[in-house]
Structure 1
Amino acid sequence: MRLRHWVIYTDRLPSGVGGTANGPIVRIRPEYRADAGIHAHEYQHVIQWYQEGMVGMLLVALLALVGGCHWSLTLAVAPAGMAAHSLGYALCASHRLWSEVQAYRVQMRHGLSLDDAVARLMSPRYKLGLHYNDARRLLSA
């Protein structure tokens, strides 16, 4: 079953970025329209967003209930848990690393070479400070 998501082809992306996923919205440069690897990479981030968002919603709902909130308020605040993946990715380098390693492993199954995946994972835009051997070990595990 494919998770609901939307793909927008646009050049309105940061320099050097071929695609990005923000929740269920994926933006990919038009030149990569036929690139199954980048589509799979970004779709992996969509999966992560849904998985972590569902857990986040449950946690927010449980906290609201434990805190004595009425069901209606609990249901109103639970969707805030959908921000779990986005916040973790933005604020926590280890979460960002986990997310990208998963996505690059998926992309490698569609033809991206290990060396290219290593170079991309080491990109300064991820702010991971990885060394070559560490990136290679993570991606080939």
Structure 2
Amino acid sequence: MSVVILYGTETGTGELVADSIADALNQHDPSIYDMSEFAVEDLDPADFLVVVCSTYGEGELPTGAVPFAEELDAVDPDLAGLRFAVFGLGDTVYGETYNRGGEIIAEMLTKRGATQVGEHGRHDGSSAVKPTAQAEEWAEGLAELLES
């Protein structure tokens, strides 16, 4: 099974996190794509999808994730059989909108029949933990799930 990692970012942290996740999942031959450059019709149920998404503004998708989300709405594909996991980036100082970007993408995928597996990873920008370190640890748990 191949792993496809999509990242949506505003400042570039999402891309760094995607690279860390790919390192942790290297036994699954991961491919990394910017959401703004990935076509919805390329989603394949034979792959395992990992979504890395930051939150921007008042709980909105980052600029890098908007084209993918708009295409999901426009195409409205049947994603039955697609399994995915999400690692979100946010900051708890924003309360209700903390990590909302990843939640939005997860909702959009499940609405179309995809199944979210594993723990929804959530990095808090207010913490002392580096997002890449937390993502790598999260992905190691995901690797165990993929191998079982």
Larger radius of gyration: 1
Higher strand share: 2
**Greater relative contact order structure (CA < 8 Å, 6+ sep):** 2
TM norm. shorter chain > 0.5: no
TM-score under structure 2 normalisation? Answer: 0.30
Task: Tell me the TM-score normalized by structure 1.
Answer: 0.31
